[in-house]
Structure 1
């Protein structure tokens, strides 16, 4: 079994470029990185499959020694479907991020509160607002309970 050196080099370059792009902050670069890694995986499965052979359909009088392994073909189709699903998910995330923040890059303003040292101030502010809302809600509920007690004459 001989493997083309060009396929191996291309696969390595695709994996390297995809990994580099996956580490970027731009969501469109992350999307392109996922596509490159998916295509590199397809090339890996193509290289692992070995030499091409006959169709993997067993009928009477057919020698199975020259057949292609159907497992790698199934794995390649599965990798294509998974890459398509990940692409659709990332496209939806990019679109949602663009609609909400009108930006495509992630920074301290778009990160999850508490996930970064600089974002702790924002997290504390949100927690304080939530606590104020909770106190106001409990106060309103207590006032409505007192109104019900006054209407019933103190009986429940």
Structure 2
């Protein structure tokens, strides 16, 4: 199961990097979202996908799930949501000011 998760995380990283290298601003934002989702899967996979009881130690239970990767992913989801919201607002504002979402046209000319 870990191999499938690692391959899926690698695909998300690859498509995210591809989208970040595009010229449209919205594709760049989508690329950052894909990379953050890939990071979530990677953190989950590094914490070992164990099946067991809930992450509460009870007398007699020998196997339980590790709560640390779950806590890290929850924190990462909140941070990536904030960054995505900020990037979407920034992209909207840049589009309203420049009337384009093309990064080459936003750069401007050398004579200005």
TM-score by length of 2: 0.87
Q: Report what 2:78 is aligned to.
A: 81
Q: Report what 1:47 is aligned to.
A: 45
- Alignment partners' CA distance in 1, 2:81 and 2:68: 20
Q: Deviations over 1:42-66 (max 9, x none)?
A: 111221121122212234x243x41
Q: Deviations over 1:97-144 (max 9, x none)?
A: 11111111112x5227xxxxx52x21xxxxxxxxxxxxxxxxxxxxxx
Larger-Rg structure: 1
Q: Deviations over 1:1-52 (max 9, x none)?
A: xx43222111111111111111222111111101111111111122112112
Task: Give structure 2 stretches of 5+ with no counterpart.
Answer: none
Q: Report what 1:133 is aligned to.
A: none
Aligned match for 2:96, one of 88, 96, 99 = 99
- Alignment partners' CA distance in 1, 2:100 and 2:93: 10
What secondary structure is seen at the aligned counterpart in 2 of 1:43?
Answer: helix
Bigger relative CO (Cα 8 Å, ≥ 6 apart):
2
Aligned-CA RMSD value: 1.8
Structure 1 segments, 4+ long, off by >4 Å, are: none
Task: Give structure 1 stretches of 5+ with no counterpart.
Answer: 113-117, 123-156
Q: Report what 1:56 is aligned to.
A: 55
Q: Report what 2:9 is aligned to.
A: 11
Q: Report what 1:21 is aligned to.
A: 19
TM-score by length of 1: 0.64
Aligned length: 111
